[in-house]
């Protein structure tokens, strides 16, 4: 899953991988929905955190 992406992603990479806008990617990161680390002013997202976010959808029950 996401084999074409590096192990460490930027918020722009996250947006591209999920097919969403950069603002939405930053919102998911800011709300800690997707795990990330801040190093100085740079935000990095381990690819495993993105995969965990996608796989977590399996455990949510959708309401009709």
Residues 8-37 pLDDT 10s: 999 999 999 999 999 999 999 999 999 999
Output the CA–CA distances (angstroms, integers) from residue 5 to 8, 9, 12, 37, in the order listed: 8, 7, 12, 18
Domain assignments of the chain as residue spans, ordered by start: 8-59
pLDDT at 37: 97
* Whole-structure pTM value: 0.85
CA–CA separation, 9 vs 24, rounded Å? 15
Average pLDDT, the chain: 92
Q: In this predicted structure, what is the pLDDT of residue 64?
A: 61
* pLDDT at res. 1: 82
pLDDT in tens, 32-58: 999 999 999 999 999 999 999 999 887
The span from the CA of 30 to the CA of 32, in Å, is 5
């Amino acid at each position: 899953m996401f084999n074409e992406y590096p192990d460490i992603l930027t918020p722009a990479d996250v947006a591209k991988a999920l097919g969403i806008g950069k603002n939405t990617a930053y919102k998911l990161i800011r709300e800690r929905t997707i795990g990330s680390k801040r190093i100085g002013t740079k935000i990095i997202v381990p690819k495993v955190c993105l995969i965990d976010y996608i796989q977590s959808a399996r455990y949510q029950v959708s309401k009709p």
